[in-house]
Structure 1
Amino acid sequence: MNNKDDKKMSHFAHVTQAHPCFNEKIHDKVGRIHIPIAPKCNIQCGFCTRSLNDVEKRPGVASCIMSIDEAMNHIRKTVKSMPINVIGVAGPGDSLCNPNTLKLFRKVKEEFPNLILCMSTNGLLVPKYADEIAEVGVKTVTITVNAVDVNIGSKIYDNIEYGGRIYHGVEGFKILLDNQLKGIEMLSKRGVIVKVNSVLIPGVNDKHIKEIASVVKSKGASIMNVLPLIPMNKFKDYERPGCGMLSEVREEVEEYLPVFRACTQCRADAFGIPGKKSDDFSLDLVPNSHY
């Protein structure tokens, strides 16, 4: 192992010791803040329905969209009241499809330099913004990769908006996949830790996720998270995968990458300690939170 690899492993160890979405041992001990500052999205996943509401407990949902100033005030208040290690943007749309995401990170880095900056994205625009992501101080990026086979991927994604055009089917998925894999490689080379999320869709990609793990590892991904489908949109009639299927797929993935198993599939405005009922909140639970 050379000095560059030693430095990367040291950086990875530091982040995993402090990030509740990378380390199951601290998942119920330290908190994160998801800032709902990114409403727009540039793809349509077959299982996704974005929404502003106070009811659903899932990704793609928030009770409001914050401005940068509102987000900073929310962060200031929250870090005073509970242990927070991470500031993340996870929607309710795509982080990189919204300019305020990176603008917010610049402000957070300046005022709270010890907090880990984290973002989730579909990966379509990562190659365009990889340098800026690293420059603003983002330490971890989660990219959702649900297929590395065009025939499978084209069944999962409906529309890909890229370069001022909308693409469909295999053509659209090829653009998405190429940018996802290029983005993983670019971020990894810039010292950003990449976690890959894959949504397990029974009968569609359940036999394919092991291959995803192999490919994304070769591009520089460090850890993987296999999530059960929440039946919605065109997959609304599919069954949510059970524990047996999830365990089997996760064990296959572990042949290539470590697997994070404690994800609670949070709202885009969640904050506090994940999965700990007394200390995990979303903005709908906070008086006067609708900015």
Structure 2
Amino acid sequence: MADEYRTATIGGREVPYDPEQLRKISEHPCYSDKACHAFGRCHLPVAPRCNIQCNYCIRDYDCVNESRPGVTSRVLTPEEGLDLVRRVVRDFPYVKVIGIAGPGEPLANPETFETLRLVHDEFPHLIMCISTNGLLLPEYIEELAKYDVGNVTVTLNAVDPAIGEKIYSWVEYEGKRHHGREAAELLLSQQFRGIEMAVAKKMFVKINTVYIPGINDEHIPAIAKKVGEMGAFTFNVIPLIPQYKFADITPPTPAEKREMQDKCAPYIKQMRHCARCRADAIGKLGQDVQSCVYQQMKDEKTE
């Protein structure tokens, strides 16, 4: 057993994982600060719809000059996503991770699951990754496991609904739109359940928390402590990009971000190399190649 299994430190305890599971750390540029220099990821923008409205989020799909979450030059069909993976694996063999991160909420779009099926069937060796707000994670955890999604990122901006209600305008669940404290409580309950279920499946969970000065800044270490206790693997502090209802908030400085990470570090491993990826990002972190890939695809169609 000792020869076949190694461990990962999660939630302050050593958890046994087999080599294939640990590959999902060692070759994933977001989960390993060493992997980000050697390996890349390909985000497939197949999920346009979202089921919550964050007060910092504007999703402009046709935007080539911005590098931030929620942005893509175009939305792909599942079949187009598979074609893109074929091209990327051929031309950029260092890409080991296929992720779906938007531009909306992946789990609110059936195209996500069709894309996962197509890619997993043809490329079972690739690491499958998903980013989610967590609202539907409990409902779809089994389907994610079916397609060997071993890395799950959950954006969790508060563990106190009184703070959460300042961050979300509404949450849409089972055909009903919720607002205020009710929306924040519903979202948080689902996020906690989903994280617990993902950890129980031995998925590697990364938590993204948007650092919003004056809203959740003093609360972020409490988030880190809670998710560390729950068994999340790593924690990513993302400085606010001021837009939408939070357009007038001054974002934290790099020094303030580092200070916040240091405050959270006793509770959970910190991701300190985030590049705030677009929903269509391709390549190594900070060395994106999606513009040339999509241009090649466009040129081939017009030939």
The TM-score by the shorter chain falls in which range? over 0.9
Instruction: Find the counterpart in structure 2 of residue 46 from structure 1.
Output: 55
In the alignment, the residues of structure 1 paired with residue 198 and residue 291 of structure 2 have an alpha-carbon distance, to the nearest angstrom, of 30
Verify: 1:73 aligned to 2:66, yes or no.
Answer: no
Alignment of 1:67-216 (within 5 A): 67-82=77-92, 83-216=94-227
**Aligned residue in 1 for 2:23:** 14
Residues 216 and 12 (structure 1), Cα distance of their counterparts in 2 relative to 1, 3 Å cut: farther
CA contact (8 A) 1:109 1:115 kept: yes
- Tell me how far 1:289 sits from its aligned partner: 3.9
Structure 1 unaligned runs (5+)?
none
The AA in structure 2 aligned to 1:79 is V
The residue identity in structure 2 corresponding to 1:15 is K
Q: In structure 2, what is the equivalent of residue 223 of structure 1?
A: 234
Which amino acid letter does the alignment assign opposite residue 63 of structure 1?
Answer: S
Kindly state the Cα deviation for residue 116 of structure 1 after the two structures are TM-superposed.
0.2
**1:46 counterpart letter in structure 2:** N
* Paired letter, 1:252: K
- Please give the alpha-carbon distance, in whole angstroms, between the structure 1 residues aligned to 2:292 and 2:119: 19
Task: Tell me: CA distance 1:67–1:116, structure 2 relative to 1, closer, same or farther (3 Å).
Answer: same
Matched, 1:286 2:295: yes
Compute the displacement of 1:125 (Å): 0.1
CA deviations on 1:158-206 (whole Å, 9 max, x unpaired) are 1100011000010000000000011000011012111000000011111
1:284 and 1:18 mapped to 2: Cα distance? 22
1:249 aligns with 2:260: yes
SS at the partner of 2:217? coil
Q: 1:284 to 1:204 in 2, by over 3 A?
A: farther
Question: What's the offset of the Cα at 1:287?
Answer: 3.7
- Over the residues paired in the alignment, what is the CA RMSD in angstroms? 2.0
CA contact (8 A) 2:42 2:97 kept: yes
Uncovered stretches (5+) of structure 2, i.e. residues with no partner: 8-13
Counting aligned pairs with the same residue, the percent is: 42
TM-score relative to the length of structure 1: 0.94
CA shift, 1:11, in A, is 5.9
Question: 1:103-135 deviations in whole A, cap 9, x for unaligned?
Answer: 211221111111100010000000111111112
Q: Is the Cα contact below 8 Å between 2:211 and 2:237 reproduced in 1?
A: yes
Residue 60 of structure 1 contacts residue 92 of structure 1 at CA under 8 Å; is this kept in 2?
A: yes
Equivalent residue, structure 1, for 2:34 = 25
Q: Which residue of 1 aligns with 2:72?
A: 62
Asked if the contact 1:274/1:280 (under 8 Å) is kept, the reply is no
Alpha-carbon contact 2:30-2:36 (below 8 Å) kept: yes
**CA distance in 2: counterparts of 1:42 and 1:283, whole angstroms:** 31
* Alpha-carbon distance, 1:253 to partner: 1.1
